[in-house]
Amino acid sequence: MGNAKNKLLKFAEFETFSNCYDYRHQLKGQWHEVFGNSNPIVLELACGKGDYALGLSQLHPEYNYIGVDVKGNRLWAGAKKALESGWKNVAFLRIEIDRLADFFDAGEVDQIWITFPDPQPRKMRKRLTSFKFLNVYRQVMTPLGRVHLKSDSLLFWESTLDQIAQDGLRILEQVDDVYALDPLPEKLAIQTFYEKIWLLNGKTIRYVQFEIGAVKSEPLPAREEDRTEFFQDRGARRV
Ligand SMILES: C[S@@+](CC[C@H](N)C(=O)[O-])C[C@H]1O[C@@H](n2cnc3c(N)ncnc32)[C@H](O)[C@@H]1O
C-alpha cells in the first residue's frame, strides 16, 4: 500500500476510535467525565505516536493521560495500542497545541510532558517552551503545575533553560545526560519513536522538570539572536 494511502486510512480510522477526540468534541471542563474518575490529568504534547502517554499510563494508573498532536496518522498508532491493550486511562486529542485553552478549563491539567519537540531553529515563538506557549499552558494549569521536557536538541534545551530563568520559574529536576544515570528512573527509561532515532545518531538526551508558575508580563528574550524576531512580532523596529 502506498504511503499516502496508508496515511489517509489511518487518519480515517483514527476518527472512529473510542479513545480519540478532535476539535469537534466540546470536552473543555469535562475530561474527568470522559475518564470516569477524578484522577489528575497529564498531557503529552507533540506526542506523535504517544509513546510517553502510553508508557506513563502503565507506570501510573492513578493518573489519566492525553496524547496531543496535530497529526492523526501518528496518533493512530498510540490509540490503537491503547485500545487493543484495554488501557482506559489514556486518550488522544488531535488539535493544534496553540489552541489548548479551547479544549481544557483553567486548572484542569495537572502536568505536561513535552517529548522531542521540533527545535524550530529559526522561529523562537514556535518552540513549545517559548513564552507564548508557556502562557498557553498557564491557562489550563495551576501555578504549581509541572512541565517535563525530554529533548535531544541542545538549542531547544538551552532556549528552555533561558525561558525558565527569564520567568524566574522553579526547576524541580534537571538531568544533562539521561543515559548517564545509573540506575535510570522508570519515567526516563520510556523511549519515543524519535528518541530511538536520535539515540542511534549518538545524541545526548536531556530532561528538565519545572513549575509553570504565574508569569504575566513579557520580558525581553535573553538570547540576542531571538530579539530581532521578538521586536518584529510586535511591529516594532530594533533601535
Ligand atoms: C519530532 S516529532 C516528536 C514526536 C514524538 N514526541 C516522538 O518523540 O516520537 C514532533 C511532533 O510535534 C507535533 N507538533 C509540532 N507542533 C505542533 C503544534 N503546534 N500542535 C500540535 N502538534 C504539533 C508534530 O505533528 C510532530 O508529531
Q: What pLDDT digit, counting tens, does each position of 145-171 carry?
A: 999 999 999 999 999 999 999 999 999
Pick the CATH number of 6-233 from 3.50.50.60, 1.20.1260.10, 3.40.50.150, 1.10.580.10: 3.40.50.150
C-alpha cell at 200: 542511534
Is residue 97 in contact with ligand 1, taking CB distance under 6 Å?
yes
Is residue 167 in contact with ligand 1, taking CB distance under 6 Å?
no
**Using CA atoms, how far apart are residues 112 and 41, in angstroms rounded to an integer?**
9
- Distances in Å between the Cα of 79 and the Cα atoms of 3, 15, 95, 180, 203 are 19, 10, 15, 32, 28
Catalytic residues: 118
Q: What is the pLDDT of residues 69-126, one digit of tens each?
A: 999 999 999 999 999 999 999 999 999 999 999 999 999 999 999 999 999 999 988 9
pLDDT at position 238: 45
| Strands in the chain per DSSP E | 20-22, 41-45, 64-69, 90-94, 111-115, 146-151, 171-175, 206-211
Q: Which of 23, 65, 69, 102 to mutate to test the pocket of ligand 1 (most atoms within 8 A of CB)?
A: 69
Supply the DSSP symbol for 46. T
Q: List the one residue out of 85, 75, 98, 81 whose CA is nearest residue 20.
A: 75
Query: For strand 90-94 and strand 111-115, is the pairing parallel, antiparallel, or unpaired?
Result: unpaired
User: Is 107 within 8 Å of 142 (Cβ atoms)?
Assistant: yes
